[in-house]
Amino acid sequence: MSTVNQRISEIGVVPVIKLSNPERDAAPLAKALCAGDVAVAEVTFRAAGADTAIRLMKEACPDMLVGAGTVLTTEQIDRAIAAGAEFIVTPGLDPELVVYAQKKNIPIYPGCTTPTDYHTAYKLGLEVLKFFPAEQSGGLSKIKAMSAPFPMFKVMPTGGISLKNLKEYLSAPVICACGGSYMVTADLIEGGKWDEITDLCKKSREIVKEARNG
């Protein structure tokens, strides 16, 4: 695994973040995540100012691993890299974006849920795939089934992941890490509930350790 892939795998959970007010929330959110031992974040381009949020989070916590999510264009990849992003996540598999990211030497995790997606990803030389939306696309049972013909991939499921099913997912060797927004919901962020976010991160990390060591 690459260094970024390894770091994500070691943490085990990736908060998927949408920030409507990055100037106010990015720095305290980064500190709350790191205080909970989750020093990684996927900041989605679903909200304006995602690149600002990435930059501010990196400034607040320089050792944190911050990436860009819901990336749809090469222009967004450029903006993410300029802001300090260290990985790219796309909702689907767009070979053009994968090749562009590879030329820019930044890891990219495209959303893949079908054998065709996996086969294309194999030809593109990828090693970690996002599986999105996870629960709605068949969940862990489908991920396990897909790993039979494609054992070379580690998978990062996102969509429908919570504290309730996190251990089940992480107990499967095919899972690299789980993405989720349950610890960074709009309600928690808008309310400035940083201690609650830290607590959810700590609970998530406890589950990661239980799953990996059990």
Catalytic positions: 42, 130
Does residue 154 contact residue 118 with C-beta atoms inside 8 Å? no
Residue 62 contacts by C-beta under 8 Å, 6 or more apart in sequence? Answer: none
Token look-up 């990211």 returns: 101
Strands (E), 91-151: 108-110, 128-131
Nearest-angstrom CA–CA distance, 75 and 73: 5
Residue 188 identity: L
Inter-residue long-range contacts of 210-213, CB under 8 Å, 24+ positions, other chains counted: 210/167, 211/12, 211/166, 211/167, 211/169, 211/170, 211/171, 212/12, 212/170
